[in-house]
A and B are shown apart, each in its own frame.
Chain A
Amino acid sequence: DIQMTQSPSSLSASVGDRVTITCRASQTISSYLHWYQHISGKAPKLLISAAFSLQSGVPSRFSGSGSGTDFTLTISSLEPEDFATYYCQQGYSTPPTFGQGTKVEVK
């Protein structure tokens, strides 16, 4: 199985901050990398598919980049509703696997 490693595991930030989360795959996954936002008690939400394609309705402050093994999720200016846990997921091979998550907390 392909292992996905996110860093950091958690971070503290303030509204308006720029936040960057990285995701590394244990082998190349082309651009088959997806990002999710999960607020506890709610349904997870797909933010970005195929490394950089923003899902409909997702604010443009979210962006994704990368290919091969290294990927990045960036929130350009953190909003109050963005405090959540973020997961990357590879779809390159089966089984699909997730990173361990990055919790974005209030500073």
Chain B
Amino acid sequence: EVQLLESGGGLVQPGGSLRLSCAASEFTFGSYAMSWVRQAPGKGLEWVSAISGSGGSTYYADSVKGRFTISRDNSKNTLYLQMDSLRAEDTAIYYCAKMSGPYSSSSKRNFDWWGQGTLVTVSS
């Protein structure tokens, strides 16, 4: 069964930075697009960012564009999210999610496996 394990969350001050990691196993990591999805306290799910299987294409929600950077290391089966210039409204549980297929494909733009999430709290 697919395993996704996030790490790197924690408490950070506004304006600070944090790097999340997601270790993947039990599937051919480099063959699938991956995403980060977050859930703010008491709120619903919000897609944050996606990256193609090769890492050559990246996609961002307007709310994080220019502040967050998604990347992957296919040799280590690991997905990353570098979060800079953090704001209070970035406080959320961040989930790593495997996509069914290419992000560019409407029919495959869903999330078929998820991790349990890592909590990011932005507060002074």
Contacts and interface: CB of A to CB of B under 8 A. Distances in A.
A46 B110 contact: yes
A35 to B, nearest CB: 10
Q: Tell me the dominant secondary structure on chain A's binding face.
A: loop
A89 B39 CA distance: 14
A49 B106 contact: no
Interface stretch (A10-18, A70-78, A93-101): A93-101
Interface string A85-97: 0010101111111
How many of chain B's residues touch chain A, expressed as a range?
A: 20 to 34
A29 to B, nearest CB: 9
B95 A32 contact: no
Contact of A34 (B37, B110, B113): B110
Given A32-B107, A45-B114, A46-B111, A98 B44 contact: yes
Interface of A: 30, 32, 34, 36, 38, 41-46, 49-50, 55, 87, 89, 91-101
Top 9 A-B residue pairs of the complex, sorted by shortest distance between their CB atoms: A91-B109, A43-B114, A34-B110, A98-B45, A101-B44, A44-B114, A100-B44, A43-B116, A46-B112
